[in-house]
Structure formats: structure tokens, C-alpha cells
Amino acid sequence: MSCQITYLGINQSVVTSGAEDSLLEISIENKIPHLHECGGNGNCTTCRVRIIEGAQNVNPKTSIEKSTSDARKWDPSIRLACQCYPKGDVKLQRLIWSSGEVNKLQTELVPEGKAEERPIAILFCDLRNFTKLSSQNANFDLAYMLNHFYTALSEPILMNNGIIYQYVGDEIIGVFGTAGGMRQKNCTDAIRAAIGMQYALDRLNKIELKEFKVKLEMGIGINYGRAFVGHLGHPTHRQFSVIGDPVNIASRIQSKTRQTEAKILISNTVLKCVDKGSLDIGKSFHTTLTGKAEQTEIHEVLNFKQMDLQLELQASLYMLLQDEDLFAKVFYKKVFEKAPFVKALFKSSMIDQGRLLTHMLGGIVYSLSRPQHLKMGLKKLGQSHHHYGVKAEYYPVVKEAMLETIEDILGERHSTNIAEAWSQALDFVTDTMKSWNNNQVQERLIREVN
Ligand code: HEM
Ligand code: FES
């Protein structure tokens, strides 16, 4: 029996062939971008949809879906698209549109109405010459600049599994590790975000805000400690909140960036959590923070000592996907030149296919900072590729075409570090995709031996 699935928001309807496909599989088949970090295994919740009409036409919740939705107190209209099989017409809305929104989901597991102590890294970023800017520019221009500042500088927080906690005037506050994780990872994520923010600010000054003839500067302070995290406030207006001394200390460390002329300062606690040898540390200071009697040690971070794969991928992603359609066009042209015989495997519009590919590439760069679902997702992608008729020997061609595309699109902005980072990342992606049936092979061997 065929059924009609309508995607509200993009106003698109598709008619299924009657196969036993989940809502997620229907999206993928019809080239409708639909996030699915864990590849449809019911673990990541990124495929969630709201069923607006036709709830009676889908199966009851699977056990994995039920435990997820109970833990997050979802209302019954929210379903995991990978666990939902339509038997009649359905109208739905996808709820997560971009990889940048995924981190926010961590706050769903934060307690309501009370706070819980959790170890987190806190990043305070302050725009340095904001007061001067406000007096020299019309409000309209100022809002434009601030919006660019917020957008460009928030992205590195999101790419490193952080949550944008608040924008306060010219300040951005990010938190890392709300949902747990190792302290080394959470602190390194915060430092990588800070360095990425510096890169983004350079880009803003050189390109997006060039016509304003201003040079924005900023200071960043990072601290790590046990803070209280919860949804607090009036029962009708609860807000995600992070409170406690570690937060105040992060803010005060940030305020020291002015007098020390350092761009990024971290507390000694942060330095103790990370692999010291991995960081290029500038000056270290003994200082007294406002409201504190004792002296504290803070350190200036200049960069990572060696090429950081994630940072290179993150910093180049924006430049690569500024025009997603161009990236896909150049890439597929190269693939078909190198291996004309694979063209026959592509059955539908190459524009839609290109958008899915670039969507997936962006998703992979974001998910490297929360890798627990990434491998699952890539194995599932590998399995689909097996069904599309893709053979293991085609993967090197795609890798080569992708690296050449990256070089062409970046032009003068390309570097050996970027090339190396993408080469390693593509090896990881393609090796994982190719290993989609490893478990099955192992299971079969075990059965045969027994
Ligand atoms: C870096 C590795 C690759 C990535 C990230 C990737 C990504 C994708 C994505 C996101 C889709 C959309 C459908 C889906 O999600 O299942 C897709 C479809 C497809 N890919 Fe790939 N792919 C990769 C490697 C390859 C290789 C090596 C080939 C071989 C030529 C290939 C051929 C195809 C084909 C034939 C389709 C289906 C097209 C259609 O339905 O018209 N891909 N790929
Ligand atoms: S939960 Fe559906 S794709 Fe991960």
C-alpha cells in the first residue's frame, strides 16, 4: 500500500512505493535532508519529527524509542523517524535542521526546577572595543556587526560539542561537558573552540566586515570546575542555567585579557586537565582575580603545538561549503572524469544528491566532537552504499576527487595542514563505511566455528 508523506516547512510531499521503509529511509530515498547521526539506530535522537497529522498511521513506539522519549519527557507527537513505519498518510515536521543544533539536545537531560552539580568547562568571550564601536556606528550597523560576530564566533562552540549558554551584550558564553564526558576532552574542546573563534574573527575583519573599516578584537577566558546546571526560573519560564564559582572565575579570567594583552587565557585547572605538551603556551601570570584573596595562575594559549585535525577541518568547512552546490558540482565532475562507469549508479537529480553529500560532510565534521554515534552512522551509510552498487575499490577515487575539489575551491587559502586533515578524515570515513559488514562477517565465522 502506498502512502503520502508530507514534509511541512518545506511543503514537499512524497508518495512511498509501499515498501516497509521507516520515515527516515523515506527521506533519504527522496533526497530530503534529514539528520541521522547514528544512522537510524535509535540512539542519537537527531532524526526526531513531530507528527502533525496521521499519528494513527504509524507503529507504536519501539522500546528504544520509548525509553528515549520518557527520559526527555517528550509529548506523544514527537517520534524518532528511524523507528517510525507509516501505514497511511502522514504530515510531519523535522525538528532538527542542522548539525549546529544537535548540542542543544544535551540540555534536555538537565534537571527541571533544581540544579545538579556537574564538572564543566566554561568559556567567556568578550568583544574588546564594543563601547567605541557603539558610539561610532548607527544602531542598524551595530546590530548587523553584532549579528555577524555572534554567528561566526558561535559556530566554533557548536562544532566542539559546546552549548551557547548566553549572549550578554557583546559577550558570548559557552559551556562544554554539560552531558558528561572526560575532563580532558571537555577542556580541549573549549580551547579548540577559542582558537577557532580567533580564526573566525580574523575572517570577519578581513572579509565580512571589511567595508566598515573596523578591526574587531576580543578576549577569551576559560575555566573548568563543578558548576550547578539546571532549568531554573518561574515554572512557566524556566531557563537553562549554569551557576557557581567556576563561572564567575571564567568571567574574571576573561577580564584579565585586556591588561595582559593575551587573546586566550586559561586557568591552571584547565591546563592540568589537558595534555600540556599539546599546547603552545605563551606567558603565564600570577594574578589576583576580583573578589578573591589568594593569587591564581593563568596561562596564555597561542595555539596547538601540532596540527589539530578537528581545528583544520572546522576552520576550512565554512570556506568549502559557502557555496554547497558549487562544491558538489566540482566534486561529481571530477568523480565522473576519473571513473565514468560509476555515473550509472546515480539514479536521481545530482543537485539533490550533491546537497545530501555536503550536508553529510558538514555533519561529519560536527560529529567528530561527539563521536559516540558517528561510527554507527557511517557504517549504516556504508551499508546503503553497498546496496547502491558501490564497490570497495571505488572509494579511493572518491577520496582523490574530494581532495582535489578541496584544493580547487580553497585556492590560495589551501594549506598542507588542511590537505592532511581532510586526507586523514576521509580515510576514517571511507574505512568505516567499508567496514559496514565486519560484525556480520565475524558473527558468521563464530557461528561456523561453533
Ligand atoms: C566519503 C565517502 C562518501 C560519502 C560521505 C557519501 C555520501 C553520500 C550520501 C550522503 C548519499 C545520499 C544517500 C544516503 O544518505 O544514503 C550518497 C548516495 C550515493 N553515493 Fe555516496 N558517499 C561516499 C562515497 C561514495 C562512493 C565511493 C561512491 C561510488 C561511486 C558513492 C556513490 C553513491 C551513490 C551511487 C549514491 C546513491 C545515488 C542515488 O540514489 O541516486 N558514494 N552518498
Ligand atoms: S535516533 Fe534516529 S537516526 Fe539516530
Expressed in angstroms and rounded, the spacing between residue 222 Cα and the centre of ligand 1 is 40
Cβ of 384 below 6 Å from ligand 1: yes
**Percentage, residues of the chain above pLDDT 90:** 76
Give the per-residue pLDDT at 169: 83
pLDDT at residue 208, as a whole number: 80
315 lines ligand 1 (CB under 6 A): no
Find the 68 Cα to ligand 1 centroid distance in Å: 30
Q: Can you spell out the DSSP letters for 304-328? A: ESS--HHHHHHHHHHHHTTTHHHHH
Question: pLDDT tens-digit profile of 194-210?
Answer: 999 999 999 988 888 78
Residue 114 — pLDDT band, cuts 50, 70, 90? confident
C-beta of 334 in contact with ligand 2 (< 6 A): no
Ligand nearest to the CA of 348: 1
13, 6 contact by CB (below 8 A): yes
CA-based nearest residue to 225, from 165, 169, 194, 268: 268
Record: fold of 311-441: Globin-like (1.10.490)
φ, ψ of residue 218 in degrees (nearest 5): -150, 165
Q: Residue 248 pLDDT > 80, yes or no?
A: yes
Which of 100-109, 226-235, 417-426 is modeled with the greatest confidence? 417-426
- What confidence score (pLDDT) does residue 268 get? 97
- Crossing angle of helices 416-434/350-367, nearest 10°? 100
Is the CB of residue 192 below 6 angstroms from any atom belonging to ligand 2? no
Is 60 exceeded by the pLDDT of residue 234? Answer: yes
E-state strands within 162-238: 162-168, 171-176, 218-232
Label residue 321 by pLDDT band (50, 70, 90): very high
Q: Is the pLDDT of residue 433 over 80?
A: yes
For residue 440, pLDDT beyond 80: no
Confidence at residue 134, expressed as pLDDT on a 0 to 100 scale: 79
Q: Which atom of ligand 1 is nearest to the CA of 402?
A: 1
pLDDT of residue 442: 55
Measured over the CA atoms of residue 177, residue 179, residue 183 and residue 189, the dihedral's sign is: negative
Q: Is residue 395 in contact with ligand 1, taking CB distance under 6 Å?
A: yes
- Checking if the pLDDT of 3 tops 80, the result is yes
Residue 33's alpha-carbon distances to 7, 319, 346, in angstroms, are: 11, 21, 17
Q: Atom 2 of ligand 1 has which residue's CA nearest to it?
A: 430
Residue 246: which of 124, 159, 369 has the closest Cα? 124
The pLDDT assigned to 343 comes to 96
Name the CATH superfamily for 100-306.
Nucleotide cyclase, GGDEF domain (3.30.70.1230)
Instruction: For 4-97, give the CATH class.
Output: alpha beta
Pairing of strands 218-232, 264-267: parallel
Q: What pLDDT is recorded for position 396? A: 97
Mutate to test the pocket of ligand 1, among 21, 388, 402 (most ligand atoms within 8 A of CB): 388
pLDDT of residue 104: 86
| pLDDT band, residue 293 (cuts 50/70/90) | confident
CB 300 within 8 A of CB 283: yes
What is the DSSP secondary-structure string of 5-66?
Answer: EEETTTTEEEE--S----HHHHHHHTT-----TTSSSSSS-TTEEEEEE-GGGBPPPPHHHH
Please tell me the least confidently modeled range out of 231-240, 306-315, 438-447: 438-447
Q: Which residue has the higher pLDDT, 92 or 106?
A: 92
Higher per-residue confidence, 187 vs 127 = 187
**143, pLDDT greater than 60:** yes
Query: Within 13 Å, how many C-alpha atoms sit on residue 44's CB side?
Result: 27
**pLDDT score recorded for residue 136:** 80
Number of H helices and E strands in the chain, helices first, is 14, 13
Which pLDDT does position 213 carry in this prediction?
A: 77
Question: Is residue 42 a contact partner of residue 82, using CB atoms and an 8 Å limit?
Answer: yes
- Write down the pLDDT at residue 449: 53
Pairwise CA distance, residues 355 & 327, whole Å:
9
Domain positions in the chain are 4-97, 100-306, 311-441
How close is the Cα of 240 to the center of ligand 2, in Å? 24
Instruction: Measure 113 CA to ligand 2 centroid, in angstroms.
Output: 29
| pLDDT surpasses 90 at 215 | no
Report which protein residue has its CA nearest ligand 2's atom 1. Answer: 42
Task: Report how far ligand 1's centroid is from the alpha carbon of 385 (Å).
Answer: 6
Closest ligand 2 atom, CA of 376?
4
Which protein residue's CA is at the shortest distance from atom 17 of ligand 1? 357
DSSP class of residue 111? P
**Vertex 427, ends 426 and 428: CA angle to 5°?**
90
Q: Could you tell me what percent of the chain has a pLDDT over 70?
A: 97
For residue 50, give the C-alpha cell.
513531530
Centre of ligand 2 from the C-alpha of residue 105, in Å: 13
Around Cβ 199, how many Cβ atoms within 10 Å?
18
pLDDT digits (tens, 9 = 90+) for 373-387: 999 999 999 999 999
Q: Is the CB of 93 under 6 A from ligand 2?
A: no
Whether the pLDDT of residue 19 is over 80: the answer is: no
Does residue 230's CB lie within 6 angstroms of at least one atom of ligand 2?
no
Higher pLDDT, 107 or 191: 191
Give me ligand 1 centre to Cα 210, in Å.
38
What is the whole-number distance in angstroms between the Cα of residue 277 and the centre of ligand 1?
39
User: What is the C-alpha to C-alpha distance for residues 398 and 411, in angstroms, rounded to an integer?
Assistant: 20
Q: Is 80 in the pocket of ligand 2 (CB under 6 A)?
A: yes
pLDDT score of 112 more than 70: yes
Interval between CA 357 and ligand 1 midpoint (Å): 7
353-375 mean pLDDT: 92
> In the predicted model, what is the mean pLDDT of the chain?
92
